[in-house]
């Protein structure tokens, strides 16, 4: 069992090209296939039209069909569970930022307190502040 990094396929050697050439000669591929797929699962799966004419993803190892709408994570899970691969998916990194953090809350509280002191402590009317 080999450990395969799904997003780092540059280390995958000529073995994959042999596998790919066998796949393209035996499968009926659809026009929608992108031949420049970068994800590793596509070295073991391909798209084709099934008996009903629907485009599906087919496992080259066992001919299991999957919907074209599924994520590559599901396809990688199939390869891991059914064919004893160890494909790891690196999570994509998204910038998740809360609008206000703990430090921001402290700053907001200090600002609110200062504004309140300004109006109440100095007895300034709100009408004056609006103009």
Average pLDDT, whole number, for the chain?
Answer: 71
Mean per-residue pLDDT for 37-54? 85
Verify that 11 and 46 share a domain, yes or no: yes
Number of domain units in the chain: 2
Tell me the β-bridge partners of 58. Answer: 46, 65
Residue 22 has pLDDT above 50, yes or no: no
Verify that 10 and 72 share a domain, yes or no: yes
Verify that 9 and 64 share a domain, yes or no: yes
Most confident of the following: 1-10, 33-42, 69-78, 91-100: 69-78
Distance between first and last Cα of the chain: 74
Verify that 47 and 77 share a domain, yes or no: yes
Verify that 81 and 109 share a domain, yes or no: no
The pLDDT value recorded for residue 41 is 84
Q: Quick one: pLDDT band at residue 64, thresholds 50, 70, 90? A: very high
The pLDDT value recorded for residue 35 is 40
Verify that 9 and 48 share a domain, yes or no: yes
User: Which domain does 8 fall in, by range?
Assistant: 3-88
Report the distance separating Cα 43 and Cα 34, nearest Å. 13
The pLDDT value recorded for residue 94 is 62
Verify that 82 and 121 share a domain, yes or no: no
């Amino acid at each position: 069992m080999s450990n395969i990094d799904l997003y780092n396929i540059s280390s995958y050697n000529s073995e994959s090209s042999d596998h790919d050439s066998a796949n393209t000669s035996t499968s009926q591929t659809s026009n929608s296939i992108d031949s420049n797929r970068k994800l590793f699962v596509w070295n073991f799966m391909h798209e084709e039209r099934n008996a009903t004419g629907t485009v599906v993803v087919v496992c080259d190892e066992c001919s299991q069909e999957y919907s074209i709408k599924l994520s590559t994570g599901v396809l990688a899970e199939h390869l891991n569970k059914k064919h004893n691969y160890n494909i790891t998916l690196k999570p994509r990194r998204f910038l998740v930022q809360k609008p206000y953090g703990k430090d921001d809350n402290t700053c907001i509280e200090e600002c609110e307190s200062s504004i309140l002191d300004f109006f109440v402590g100095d007895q300034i009317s709100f009408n004056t502040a609006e103009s």
